[in-house]
Structure 1
Amino acid sequence: MKEGEFPIVFDGHNDVLERLDDPAGFFERREEGHLDLPRARESGFGGGMFAVWVPPPEGKAAHETLDPSYALRYSLSAAATLFRIEELSEGQVRIVRSAGEIRSCINEGILAAVLHMEGADAIDTDLDALHVLHRAGLRSLGIVWSRPNAFAEGVRVRFGSTPDTGAGLTEAGRRLVRACNELGIVIDVSHLNERGFWDVAELSEAPLVATHSNAHAICPSPRNLTDAQLEAIAASDGIVGLNFGVHFLREDGSEDTDTPIEVMVRHIDHLVEHLGMERVGFGSDFDGICIPDAIGDVRGLPRIMQALREHGYGEEDLKKIAHENWLRVLRKTWGR
């Protein structure tokens, strides 16, 4: 690899689908937001998990339980946006269902998109919708966002508290975990409270995955993972994707975007210490959160890679963090 060059990044989480009014907007360079295809091309962003997140309907608080029929309608519309992006891309974007397809996309310069749901609010307790969505391409599922549903409880973001914020998985949640294992769907523990996390750790036969979370020991947000949780993820041979959100990075939990890249490097160091080099990646949360000014948008990816290189991470380490670790875990979960 030449000086100044970095490996292609596969990213664990973005919310661009929620930002787009029109699928065609993904192909236009935008002044607002973090991610579009032109800027992705400039940054070495090779793809990632494209999240379907359901906002609350008008008049409903963000952390209240959603009506499943409303959540399903919205989720299908958001998923259709991703499929429309693929159709409009003329081969530049591909919705992928296997680690081998991601590898091919990286080699061919095609942006790889994984259909991910950030919260199972749209899924019925009989799990019929899960099977239909899997056939449509769903390959990664967060059981909850930061609100309760029929399967589990999500953590509310109250800085200075632990993720131990309520009951564990419901019986339906346990069935959901088993079904995801059978179908080969990634179970994302980001947003899940601590008791739910330990229930998943006990039940799941797949690697534990936190697509966009950080170290609670550095930033005590309940959205971040305790060292005990990190060690459980390591024992499962899973992965944690570094969240770029400043209030999940900073020791004071503030939304001050004047946050140096060194804070991100410190989280990476902590994750590597507790997980090992093979279990750390990126989970930026682009278009879903306030990120450091030093990163700015997707074009800031080379800056974090350069900071890691200068900090002492070697070229093979950078390749692992950029995409190799994600491909290994996804291959183990998806079976191919």
Structure 2
Amino acid sequence: MQLVFDGHNDVLLRLWRAHASGIDPVRQFIDGTRDGHIDANRARAGGLAGGLCAIYIPSMHDFVLNEPDSRGHYVTPVDKQLERAPSLDIANQMAAIALRVERAGGWRLCRSTADIRAAFADDVFAAVLHMEGCEAIDADLAALEVFHQAGLRSLGPVWSRPNIFGHGVPFAFPMSPDTGPGLTPLGFELVKACDRLGILIDLAHITEKGFWDVAKASAAPLVASHSNAHALTPVARNLTDRQLDAIAERKGLVGLNYAVTMLRPDGRDFADTPLSDMVRHVDYLVNRMGMECVALGSDFDGCTVPAAIKDASGNQALVEALRQAGYGEDDLALICRENWLRVLGNAWHEQADR
């Protein structure tokens, strides 16, 4: 079994919603549940040894993709900007759940690659706090310092909506990621602060203009934690060849998103998507960027994944499909975890991690 370190999941959102419904989120993660994709038992069964766990502020309404037309085309309007105060409350609640799960022994919050490797060795889920969209961060970045102290080590300046730091892409097919403005002046300050603190910048939801703004503002590797190849599935959330080339030049990475809408040639939200569509994207990314720039970013608990995987317990189905496609064990180790550890170590100002 190849241990997997995953670049993106929304388990904290699911646990936060469970808590709001009167369910103990700590017990739900540790004891297991039929809901969603990730808990301790299913992660262990599928070799999911850790990942970036997102603090994500949901919309104030049920966010649903617009129904596609007869051709499968759709455009879902970008959500409105959220207010900061309630966003900060939710972010604090999710961070508190993460700390409670750690205190109960369900996972270990990791702040270095050494922490991640030690968690692997101890068979404890290696969780890294990530923030998907910075609605909870204030203009003077004081909250960024506090969240960093609490363990935040990765963030995406925006989700697919605007905030004071920048603009996100809509959920749309087919569409280019060049959908609007990029970073705001405050966004450039956020990027500089992250570089100083050692917080990874995630480009998964930002506009193409924002992508190039971050590339200019930051010296760190360029990373899209859960995105795929636009040339194969032209959804706005996927990356163009020019973006992939820039990521490769900076020795960053792209984490393969398991969302079927970002894998299928037709962009449909069908769980019967074959694993061959996932292999096709990995092949394209490897051929375009090189083996050391491709990783996994499942988006578990945040999307429809292929039925052959179903949840974290089925993660090795993808590994086996890649194995059958000709990827050797050394290649699989890079894709499954080592590329993430290299890039995180670089962003976190560590010495080269071997």
Could you say whether these structures have the same fold, taking a TM-score greater than 0.5 normalized by the shorter chain as the test? yes
Are 1:253 and 2:267 an aligned pair?
Answer: yes
Partners of 1:294 and 1:111 lie apart in 2 by 23
User: Match for residue 85 of structure 1?
Assistant: 101
Residue 312 of structure 1 aligns to which amino acid in structure 2? G
Q: Which of 19, 26, 38 is the equivalent residue of 2:14? A: 19
Residue 294 of structure 2 aligns to which amino acid in structure 1? V
User: Match for residue 203 of structure 2?
Assistant: 189
Partners of 2:132 and 2:172 lie apart in 1 by 19
User: Match for residue 70 of structure 1?
Assistant: 86
Q: Secondary structure at the match of 1:285?
A: coil
Structure 2 vs 1, CA of residues 59 and 217 (structure 1 numbering), >3 Å: closer, same or farther?
closer
User: Match for residue 51 of structure 1?
Assistant: 54
What is the Cα deviation at residue 286 of structure 1?
0.3
Partners of 2:220 and 2:187 lie apart in 1 by 16
The answer to whether the 8 A contact 1:219-1:250 is kept is yes
Partners of 2:113 and 2:79 lie apart in 1 by 34
The answer to whether the 8 A contact 2:2-2:316 is kept is no
What is the Cα deviation at residue 110 of structure 1?
1.6
What is the Cα deviation at residue 57 of structure 1?
2.6
* Unpaired stretches in structure 1, ≥5 consecutive residues: 1-5
Partners of 1:17 and 1:300 lie apart in 2 by 20
The answer to whether the 8 A contact 1:56-1:62 is kept is no
Q: Which of 309, 314, 322 is the equivalent residue of 2:336? A: 322
What is the Cα deviation at residue 104 of structure 1?
1.4
1:146-191 Cα deviation digits (max 9, x unpaired): 1000010000111100000111111000000000000000000000
* Matching of residues 107-126 of structure 1 within 5 Å: 107-126=121-140
* Unpaired stretches in structure 2, ≥5 consecutive residues: 19-24, 64-76
Partners of 1:299 and 1:198 lie apart in 2 by 37
Partners of 1:117 and 1:284 lie apart in 2 by 16
What is the Cα deviation at residue 108 of structure 1?
2.2
Provide the alpha-carbon RMSD of the alignment. 1.3
TM-score normalized by structure 1? 0.96
Q: Secondary structure at the match of 1:206?
A: coil
Residue 290 of structure 1 aligns to which amino acid in structure 2? T
* Matching of residues 36-185 of structure 1 within 5 Å: 36-57=39-60, 63-89=79-105, 92-185=106-199
Residue 168 of structure 1 aligns to which amino acid in structure 2? G
- Which stretch shows the higher mean deviation, 23-32 or 69-78? 23-32
What is the Cα deviation at residue 32 of structure 1?
2.2
Moved over 3 A (4+): 58-62
Q: Percent identity?
A: 51
Structure 2 vs 1, CA of residues 183 and 257 (structure 1 numbering), >3 Å: closer, same or farther?
same
Residue 97 of structure 2 aligns to which amino acid in structure 1? T
1:279-336 Cα deviation digits (max 9, x unpaired): 1111000000001111111111111101101100011001001100000001111022
User: Match for residue 268 of structure 1?
Assistant: 282
Are 1:240 and 2:249 an aligned pair?
Answer: no
Q: Secondary structure at the match of 2:187?
A: helix
Structure 2 vs 1, CA of residues 58 and 313 (structure 1 numbering), >3 Å: closer, same or farther?
closer
Query: Number of aligned pairs?
Result: 329
Q: Secondary structure at the match of 2:172?
A: coil
